[in-house]
């Protein structure tokens, strides 16, 4: 009986202190970590079309189409198929692909989530923060260059 009363006292204490742990989401957006991995942003100016991201992607999410002169034509990324592992960002030698902190994206069909180059370029920053700067101090550790063959080109 005492244990039951203790249980009830505990919940009543929570009810009376009026504290809330949840947030009212659209009005109060969460602070996400600078390392947070959201939807991708692509920069065509930086991209050298080396295809490393396409090769490393565990899920075949990225599709790159180049012409016979190795000039990039298409950069397609299915953000619904992506597992947000950030390996593409890690292997990219020029920061052309970056996972923003933006987690607010939707689509009515699966096809809506297959982003083309233009859509990827227009992905907005979350709260206007470019996470690249905050990730800078850690860039050294992302992927050690290591020995062994370089498996692109």
DSSP string over the chain = -HHHHHHHHHHHHHHHH----S--TTTSPPPPPTT---SEEE-TTT-----HHHHH-TT--EEEEE-TT--EEEEEEETTT-----HHHHH-TT--EEE-S------SSTGGGEE-HHHHHTPPPGGG--HHHHHGGGGGGSS---SS-----
Among 7, 29, 44, 116, binds another protein (CB under 8 A): 7
For the window 22-61, what string marks contact with another protein as x by the rule CB under 8 A? x-x-------xxxxxx------------------x-x---
- The window from 21-29, 66-74, 110-118, 122-130 that contacts another protein (CB under 8 A) reads 21-29
Considering only residues 133 through 152, tell me which ones interact with another protein, judged by CB under 8 A. Answer: 137-138, 141-151
CB of 68 to another protein, least distance (A): 27
CB of 27 to another protein, least distance (A): 10
99 contacts 89 by C-beta, under 8 angstroms: yes
CB of 20 to another protein, least distance (A): 6
74 contacts 62 by C-beta, under 8 angstroms: no
Considering only residues 57 through 116, tell me which ones interact with another protein, judged by CB under 8 A. Answer: 58, 83-87, 90-91
By CB under 8 A, name the binding residues for another protein.
1-4, 6-12, 14-15, 18-22, 24, 32-37, 56, 58, 83-87, 90-91, 137-138, 141-151
């Amino acid at each position: 009986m005492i244990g039951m009363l203790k249980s009830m006292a505990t919940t009543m204490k929570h009810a009376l202190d009026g504290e809330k742990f949840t947030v009212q989401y659209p009005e109060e957006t969460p602070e996400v970590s600078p390392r947070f991995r959201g939807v991708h942003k692509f920069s065509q100016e930086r991209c050298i079309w080396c295809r490393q991201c396409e090769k490393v992607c565990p899920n075949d999410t990225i599709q790159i189409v180049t012409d016979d002169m190795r000039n990039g034509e298409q950069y397609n990324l299915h953000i619904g198929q992506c597992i947000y592992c950030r390996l593409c960002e890690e292997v990219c030698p020029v920061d052309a692909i970056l996972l923003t902190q933006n987690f607010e994206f939707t689509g009515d069909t699966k096809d809506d989530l297959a982003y083309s180059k233009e859509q990827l370029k227009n992905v907005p920053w979350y709260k206007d923060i470019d996470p690249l700067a905050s990730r800078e101090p850690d860039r050294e550790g992302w992927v050690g260059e290591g020995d062994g063959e370089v498996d692109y080109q």
